[in-house]
Chain A
Amino acid sequence: MRVRERFTAVARYPIGIGLVVLVLFLLDRFLPGFWLTLFLLFGINTILAVSLNITNGWANLFSIGHGGIMLAGGYAAALFTLPVFFKVDIIGLHLPGWILNAQIPFLPALLLGGVVGSIVGILLALPALRLRGIYFILVTLGFNLIMVSIAENLPNYTNGAMGLRQFPLYTNIWWVWGIAFLVIYIALRLRKSYIGRAFIAIGRDQELAEHMGINLLKYKIYAFGLSTFFTAIGGILWVHLILNLFPNAFSLALVFHVVTMIVIGGMGSVSGAVIGAAIITGFTEVLAPIEEGFQVFGAQVPHLFGLTTLLLAVVLILILILRPQGIMGEREFSLQGLRKRLSRSKAE
């Protein structure tokens, strides 16, 4: 018996990982294009939601500027991954030669973009964190608007509102879900570690956290730096999937979608963020064709762009009225919890 227990305890990890790798391989191989893209979007949204949860959920630093972070990271990576002929000949960017003539593989681009996103995030956080409550939110909003504005108004560097195209299709299931699992793993480990518990303490009661000896500014900056790093990476994965980067795709509507994910899932829960990402991704993609307009019984229903956002707004308000803690509240998904729940309802 004991040998068997030890075996499962130790072998759990490689077997688990092996299974996940196998599943991903099979999905990659056999899922039709639409479903595969959907699955990838789910993964990207997971990355965005789990990282947003670190600041907005755990540390209670409600930022709505992550669109701007994604823009920063996205451009930083794109300017190095886009083919040279595009940068030079087609859109004629006025950038230094070493940028224009470079085309780097995905991993360094991801890391570069992530770091840029993180730095920008920290630069935003440093002044913003001095402000309380609503002023903080307002400044992050302004940041997002300003970033979009800058991207649209500096065509020599960013190609302006016309955006960037000709992206190499770097994003695939391994990048997306590899990183997604990494982010989930980091978040779950963080939750039990001192840093993570410091974040949560700051989120629950700032003053109390300070009295317990937590350096507020330091940990808030950590939270921001970490969150924005992965947010930027999520953005980079996204543009290398949809193969374009338009500044106004990163405005408030996008921010709003990610906020909805963590609210539905439960602000403060990593599993909640994953669940929220799944729901919103599914919702969005199901509604996308309806938005285009369709035929029903021979009558043409016109296009209804924005239907998704509208319905999400309604859902968000309803959730906040009826179940403000979201699906998971602040708890995490656990097999024991599920088993207990099932046996409890069986006993009733």
Chain B
Amino acid sequence: MTYFIQQMLNGVCWGSVLAMLGAGYTMTFGIIGLVNFAHGEVFMAGAFAAYFALHVAGLPFGVAAVLGILGAIAIGLLVERIAFRPVRGSGMITLFITSFAASIGIRTLFVMLFTDRAKPFSMPAFLKGAYLIGDLFIFKKTIAVVIVLVVVGALLMYLVKKTKTGIAMRAMSYDSETAQSMGINTERIIIITFIIASALAGVAAIMWGVSYGRIRSSMGMMPVVDAFIASVIGGLGNVFGAIVGGLILGIGETLFVAYLPPDLIGLRTLFVWIVLFIIIIVKPSGLFRANIK
């Protein structure tokens, strides 16, 4: 039982990373209607920015975290500018290929410059250690990650549901042309969406760094697929759904791996595809209401 709860707590860390990634992913999917493969590299760039701030420049953790988020935003806007804006309106396949190319391009560039070896991501002192309750280790970092998830999640939901911008974003997801005739400047909303989604990826990167202590150039490759599946689970374009989907995936995958016999450990990647398979068969529109037509 203790093992189960322990693994669940681990899963919450991973689930929070996926929740942040999925939330950002589903936002861009809703607005632009396309799969942003490069979101994984935005995530990775944020982690690297924070890493450089921490380990090369020796800056304090808070500053590094902020720089990490800014780094993610910078790469996110770059991707929008070079891989999406020039081909706007070109059809899904083209947009998919450009984001795929951007993803591989950025990842290869980072591998070329920094190799794919793991780099350490040190945790600040106040997050080290754990509380012992009976047999259970409740890591301080887990608590921190959960707090950040709840706070950021709440802010995000407020933004999306209550603010003018949030309503404009959701209206655009549904019907971009009609939204324009309400005076909604779609270009601006797209930029805002990319900024927010990239910032969320940056938050996810910090969560990852704190939880696992290591980053690498290829760290975005798998999580981006998880983020997409989390979006599908939650209903495309639905931010709350993606957060829930991310948690489900994260906790589920951790438990799956925890109970997998050791010689089959390599099959961990199968879990998300099994979940995707189930969702597509049982409820393809997702658990919550999608924001697209």
Residues of A at under 8 Å CB distance from B?
60, 62, 64, 131, 133-135, 137-139, 141-142, 145-146, 149-150, 152-153, 252-253, 256, 259-260, 263, 304-307, 309-310, 312-314, 316-317, 320-321, 324
Contact with A along B240-265 (1 / 0, CB 8 A): 00000000000000000000000011
Total number of B residues with any Cβ neighbor in A under 8 Å: 36
Q: Are A310 and B109 in contact (CB under 8 A)?
A: yes
A309's partner among B104, B266, B280 (CB-CB below 8 A) is B104
One digit per residue, 1 when the CB lies within 8 angstroms of any chain A CB and 0 when it does not, for chain B 214-246 equals 000000010001001000100000000000000
| Across-interface contacts of A320 in B (CB, < 8 A) | 87, 90, 94, 97-98, 101
> B176 interface residue, CB < 8 Å from A?
no
Residues in B neighbouring A316, C-beta threshold 8 A:
97-98, 101
The reply to whether B101 and A256 form a contact with Cβ atoms under 8 Å apart is yes
Q: Report which residue of A146, A305, A321 has the largest number of chain B beta carbons within 10 angstroms of its beta carbon.
A: A321
Q: Which 5 A-B pairs rank lowest in CB-CB distance, beginning with the nearest?
A: A153-B266, A313-B105, A306-B108, A313-B101, A321-B86
Question: B82 — which chain A residues lie within 8 A by C-beta?
Answer: 317
Nearest CB on A from B290, distance (A): 13
**Complex Cα–Cα for A304 and B115 (A):** 10
> Closest residue to B90 on the A side, CB-wise?
A324
* Min C-beta distance of A268 to chain B, whole Å: 12
Establish whether residues B98 and A317, one from each chain, have CB atoms under 8 Å apart when the complex forms. yes
Point out residues on B near A: beta carbons under 8 Å. 34-35, 82-83, 86-87, 90, 92-94, 96-98, 100-102, 104-105, 108-109, 111-112, 221, 225, 228, 232, 264-267, 269-270, 273, 276, 280, 284
Chain A's interface: helix, strand, loop or mixed, by majority? helix
CA distance A146 to B222 in the complex (A): 12
Cβ contact within 8 Å between B102 and A313: yes
Task: Specify the chain B residue showing the minimal Cβ separation from A309.
Answer: B108
Instruction: Give the complex CA separation of A307 and B90 in angstroms.
Output: 28
Whole-angstrom distance between the alpha carbons of A131 and B93 in the complex? Answer: 15
Nearest-CB residue, chain A, relative to B110: A306
Whole-angstrom CA separation of A137 from B83 in the bound complex: 18
Structural contact, A153 and B108, CB atoms closer than 8 A: no
CB proximity of B218 to chain A, nearest CB, Å: 11
Inside 8 A of B83's CB, which chain A residues have their CB?
317
Decide if B267 touches A153 in the complex (CB within 8 Å): yes
Chain B residues near A142 (CB, 8 Å)? Answer: 225, 273, 276
Question: Could you say which residues of chain B place their CB within 8 Å of the CB of A305?
Answer: 111-112
Distance between A198 CB and nearest chain B CB, rounded to angstroms: 20
A119, B242: Cα distance in complex, Å: 36
Q: Which residue on B lies nearest to A263, using beta carbons?
A: B97
14 contacts between A and B (CB under 8 A): A134-B35, A135-B284, A138-B35, A138-B228, A145-B225, A149-B267, A252-B221, A256-B101, A304-B112, A309-B105, A317-B82, A317-B98, A320-B94, A320-B101
- The reply to whether A133 and B92 form a contact with Cβ atoms under 8 Å apart is yes
Collect the chain B residues with CB atoms within 8 Å of residue A146's CB. Answer: 269-270, 273
B108 contacts across to A, CB distance below 8 A: 253, 306, 309-310, 313
Shortest Cβ distance from residue A262 to the other chain B in the assembled complex, whole angstroms: 10
